[in-house]
A and B are shown apart, each in its own frame.
Chain A
Amino acid sequence: MSTTTGPAASDAAKTAPGPGGKPGPRGPSTTRKDGGRGKPRLGVQNLAGWLFSTPFLVLFTVFMAFPILATLLMSFTDFGLRNVTNPLDAEFIGFENYTKLFSDEKFLKSLFNTGYFVVVGVPLTIGLGLLVAVLLNNGIDRARTFFRVGFYAPVVTSIVAVAVVWRFVLDPADGLVAGLASEVGLTAPDFLGDEKLAMPSLILMAVWRNMGTVMVLFIAGLQAIPTEVREAAKLDGAGPWHEFRRITLPLLRPTMLYATVITTIGYLNVFEEPFVMTQGGPSDSTLTVSLNMYREGFNFFHMGYASAMAYVLFVVIMGITVLQLRLLKDNTK
C-alpha cells in the first residue's frame, strides 16, 4: 500500500495544479454523477491514471509504435542485410521501392492471390458461421455446449498442427480424401500440387478453421435479440424465413459488421496457411502478400522492399476496412 494517498483534506489542496503539469479538475465538466465526491481526488487520479498506464505505454511505444514508424521509414530506403547491424547506413531512395512494387509481377500476383482468398473466403466463413449459429440457437437445446465446442475447436488449435494435418488429409498418395475418392472409383486431384486447386484448398481450410469465431459472435448477437421481438413477429404470423429476413438479420447487423471486418483483416494478412501448406507454390499460385513480404524480408533480406510491401498491405487493409464500415453501416437505413 505504498501509494496510499493522504487524507482527503490534503488532497483537495493539491488539486489546483494537477500533478501531470495540467490543471487538475477541468471545472464541473469532469465531476461525475457520483455527486461530486470524486472531485477533490482528481489530482490523485490524474497521477494514478498515468502511473497505471505507464507499463503498457512503454511496451507499446518500444514494440509497436516504434516498429510501425520504422517500417514506414525503412520502406523509403534500400535497407538490406548489412543494415541489420548498421540501420543508419541505409540509403534513402524515395519512392523507388513503391514504384518497383507495381511493376513486380510476383508482387502483383501475391496481391491478386490475397484478394482471391478474401473474396472467396470471407463470404463463405461468414455465411457458414451464421448458418451454424442460427441452427444452434433456434433448434438445438440439448448438447448445445457440445456442438458449440466442436465447431469452435479448430479456432484454438495451432495453425501449424492444423496445416500439417490438412496436408496429410489432402495428400494425393495416401491422404484421407484420396482414399475416400478411390473407394467410390474416383481419382482425387493433387489438391496442393495443382495450380488451380491449391488456393481453393487453402481457403477451404481457412473457412474450416475460422468459422467458429464467427459462429460464437453470431450466437452472442442472436442472444442479445430480445425474445419478445421474435415472439411478436411470430404472433403477427411471420414464418421462420420471414422472421429471419425481416427481424433477425437486421438486428444482427452490428455483429455482421464486426465479424466481416475482423475476418477480412485476418484473411488479408493470411500467412501461416500457405507458409506451412504450400510455401507459396505451385508456381506462386498461393503466394500471398504477407508470405511474399516475409520471404523478401527474411529470406532475401530485401528489408526496405519488404517494408514497402507491408505498408501497401496496411493501406489496402485500412481502405477496405473503412469501406466496409461505410457500406455496412449505410445499409441499416
Chain B
Amino acid sequence: MSTATRPPAAPPPPAAPGPGASKAAGPSRGTGSRLKRPLLYLLVSLGLLIMAAPFLWMALSAFKTDQDLTASPPVWLPTEWTLGNFERLLDRLDLPRYFLNSLLVATLVTVSNLVFCSMLGYALAKLHFAGRNKVFGLVLGALMVPGNLMLLPLFVLMSKLQLIDTYAALVLPFAAGAFGVFLMRQFMQSIPDELLEAARMDGAGEWYIFWRIVMPLVKPALATLTIFTFLGSWNNFVWPLIATNDPDKYTLPVALATFATDPNQSAGSNGMLMAGSFLIVLPVLLVFAVLQRHFTQGIATAGMK
C-alpha cells in the first residue's frame, strides 16, 4: 500500500495542547498596572540572578587558577583565564570514555522509549482491546511507585543475570517508562478516529497505521519525549551508581560523584570539580535552551487531567 491510498482530506496534525494555548493567551495578557512594571522586572531579574549565580560561579571558576579559586574576597572573573583545570581533570578521569558511556546509554534508552511507549500509547489511545483499562491502570500505578523501591531486587536480578557492569544493566530498567506511555497516549487521543478508520477501510494494518500515519502526526510529542528521556538518562545517578563497579562503565555523573566524594582524590580540587560540572551541565543547558518549548509542553501535558 502506498501513501497514495491515504485519504486526501487528512486533517492537519493535532495541535499540541500546551504551547498553542500559551501563545494565544500569552502576549495579549498585559494586565499588571503600568507604573509597577519596572519594579516587577527588577524583582524578577533579581530572582533570576539568584537562580543563575551558582551556574555563573561554576562556569567562571572552571577557568580560574588556584589563586583565584581561594581568593578572599572572592573574585567573579578569573584574573587569568586557564584551561588547567580541564587538563588536570582529563589526566585524572577518563572523561571521553564516561561521556561516550552516558551518550550510548541515553541514546539506547531514548530510542527504546520512543518505540515502546508510542506503541502502548497508540494502543491505549486508539485501539479498543479487552483489558485496555487495566493496562492503563497499570501505567498510572507505575507512575506513582517510587524508583527507590525497586533498587535492591534489581541489583540482585542483574547480578544473577551477570549483567552488572554492562550497558544492558544501565539500559533495560529504563527501556520503557510509564511517563512516556502517558505522554504519548495524551497526544494520540487528539488524532481523529475518522482518519484511522478511513485508513482501516482502505485495508491498512494497525502497524502501518501506527508507524506511517500516527507517528508522523505526533512528532511534537516525540520531540518532547526524546528530550525528557535523554536528559533523564543523562542525569540519572542512583541506578548507574549501583549497577557499575568497573570504572570503564561509569557514566559521567557516577564518575564525577565518585571523584567528588573521595577525599583522597578530590582534596583541593575545586577547580577540577567545577570543570567537571561544567562539562556535564553545558551540553544539557544548550540543548534545553534551544528546545525549551518542548519541556514546557511535556510538563503541561503530563499535568493535565
| Min CB gap A313→B, angstroms | 7
A303 beta carbon closer than 8 Å to chain B: yes
| Min CB gap B14→A, angstroms | 17
| Min CB gap B40→A, angstroms | 4
A12 beta carbon closer than 8 Å to chain B: no
Do the beta carbons of A269 and B299 come within 8 Å of each other?
Answer: no
Known: A164-B256, A164-B277, A276-B257. A63 touches B173 (CB 8 A): yes
Do the beta carbons of B256 and A53 come within 8 Å of each other?
Answer: no
Do the beta carbons of B153 and A49 come within 8 Å of each other?
Answer: no
A290 beta carbon closer than 8 Å to chain B: yes
Q: How large is the interface on A (under 10, 10 to 19, 20 to 34, 35 or more residues)?
A: 35 or more
A183 beta carbon closer than 8 Å to chain B: yes
Complex Cα distance, B262 from A279, in Å, reads 11
Number of interface residues of B (CB under 8 A): 117
Do the beta carbons of A160 and B237 come within 8 Å of each other?
Answer: yes
Do the beta carbons of A272 and B237 come within 8 Å of each other?
Answer: yes
Nearest to A318 among chain B residues (CB) is B144
Nearest to B33 among chain A residues (CB) is A240
Do the beta carbons of B231 and A303 come within 8 Å of each other?
Answer: no
A250 beta carbon closer than 8 Å to chain B: no
A168 beta carbon closer than 8 Å to chain B: yes
Residues in A neighbouring B58, C-beta threshold 8 A: 161, 165, 168
Q: B43, B127, B148: which contacts A48 (Cβ < 8 A)?
A: B127
Residues in A neighbouring B103, C-beta threshold 8 A: none
Against A, the Cβ 8 Å flags (1 = close, 0 = not) of B134-174 are 01001000101111111111111101100000000000110
A residues 56-114 in Cβ contact with B at 8 Å = 56-57, 59-60, 62-64, 66-68, 70-71, 74, 79, 83-85, 87
Complex Cα distance, B254 from A153, in Å, reads 21
| Min CB gap B195→A, angstroms | 11
Known: A63-B173, A138-B29, A217-B300. A179 touches B155 (CB 8 A): no
B residues 171-195 in Cβ contact with A at 8 Å = 172-173, 175-176, 178, 181, 193-194
| Min CB gap A332→B, angstroms | 13
| Min CB gap A159→B, angstroms | 6
Q: B130, B142, B155, B300: which contacts A20 (Cβ < 8 A)?
A: B130
Residues in B neighbouring A295, C-beta threshold 8 A: none
Residues in B neighbouring A223, C-beta threshold 8 A: 21-22, 25-26
A321 beta carbon closer than 8 Å to chain B: yes
Contact surface of A with B, Cβ cutoff 8 Å: 1-5, 7-8, 18, 20, 22, 26, 30, 32-34, 37-38, 41-42, 44-53, 55-57, 59-60, 62-64, 66-68, 70-71, 74, 79, 83-85, 87, 132, 135-141, 144-145, 147-154, 156-169, 171, 173-176, 178-180, 182-183, 208, 213, 216-217, 219-221, 223-224, 227, 230, 234, 240, 254-255, 258-259, 265, 268-269, 271-272, 275-276, 279, 290, 293-294, 297-298, 303, 306-307, 310-311, 313-314, 317-318, 321
9 A-B pairs with C-beta separation under 8 A? A1-B1, A34-B193, A60-B138, A60-B142, A79-B152, A139-B41, A158-B237, A179-B74, A180-B74
Known: A3-B208, A64-B142. 16 other contacts (CB 8 A): A20-B129, A42-B128, A68-B149, A74-B152, A87-B160, A135-B40, A139-B41, A140-B40, A150-B52, A160-B260, A164-B276, A164-B277, A169-B53, A220-B299, A310-B151, A318-B144
Q: Which 3 A-B pairs have the closest CB atoms?
A: A49-B129, A179-B74, A139-B32
